[in-house]
Amino acid sequence: MPDYFEHDITLASFAQIDREIGAHGFTPAEYAIARRIIHTTADFEFAQLLQFSGAPTAAASSAFQRGATIVTDVSMVAAGIRTVAQRTWQAPVVAAIQHAPADLASGQTRSAAGMSHCIEDSPKAIVAVGNAPTALLAICKAIEAGRAQPALIIGAPVGFINVVESKQALAQLAVPHILISGRKGGSAVAAAILNALMIWTWQHS
């Protein structure tokens, strides 16, 4: 990759990952995503947890080219992608939690309420969830109700409560998506997936 995106230390780290991971079944685009997640986390298990459905790289490329908004669940994911977004597709980035209404419905989280609001404004957005499973469940419900048709969903919430269930709900939907199965994930992982997608599609479009 050009130095525009990667420092020498990052490139050396990628080379080390290549040596350690060896042969794999990823496409080049999928491997670019897997490698960046491993670089971010130093956890090779993500190579087994990463799942792709519905040609997500092609879906992302089309969405970026038409100027789609990126909606993240929390501010940390948004902060982690803004530099690459500005250097590549100049995609608008919105953190759903910052758009939650002051008065929440009983039992509703700020991230879920914010996601519902943002997806109403940008029903064909690229959606990335790296923290809050309730936000992922909110977008899944919006799709099932016909209120949203996101270009792509990245499902990588982390934790114990509703995390696996939210990912299973996403896996059942006929929408392009990338997900991290099981309990693992996190804001840094979601940002790594998005950054890899933006760089790959920018370099190969």
Beta-carbon contacts of 200 under 8 Å, excluding residues fewer than 6 positions away, are: 29, 32, 33, 57
192, HSE (Cβ side, Cα atoms, 13 Å): 24
Is the pLDDT at 201 greater than 90? The verdict is yes
**Which pLDDT belongs to residue 107?**
83
**Each residue of 112-159: pLDDT tens digit?**
999 999 999 999 999 999 999 999 999 999 999 999 999 999 999 999
**Which pLDDT belongs to residue 82?**
97
Q: Are 135 and 76 in contact (CB under 8 A)?
A: no
Q: Kindly state the tokens that stand for 56.
A: 């997500």
Beta-carbon contacts of 198 under 8 Å, excluding residues fewer than 6 positions away, are: 60, 64, 81, 84, 85, 88, 89, 91
Looking at the chain, the whole-number percentage of residues with pLDDT higher than 70 is 98
Is the pLDDT at 104 greater than 90? The verdict is no
CATH 3.40.50.150 fits 8-204, yes or no: no
Q: Catalytic residue among 39, 117, 177, 204, which?
A: 39
Q: Are 135 and 190 in contact (CB under 8 A)?
A: no
Q: Kindly state the tokens that stand for 185.
A: 């994930």
What number is the average pLDDT over the span 85-90? Answer: 96
SS3 150: coil
Q: Give, in order, the Cα–Cα distances in Å from 106 to each of 82, 124, 129, 171, 205.
A: 33, 28, 22, 27, 45
Strands 70-72 and 93-95: parallel
**Which pLDDT belongs to residue 4?**
56
Helices (H), 22-94: 28-41, 46-49, 56-65, 75-87
The Cα–Cα gap between 50 and 45 comes to 9
Q: Is 39 a catalytic residue?
A: yes
**Each residue of 42-73: pLDDT tens digit?**
999 999 999 999 999 999 999 999 999 999 99
Name the average pLDDT for the chain. 95
- Which residues on adjacent β-strands are paired with residue 177? 53, 153
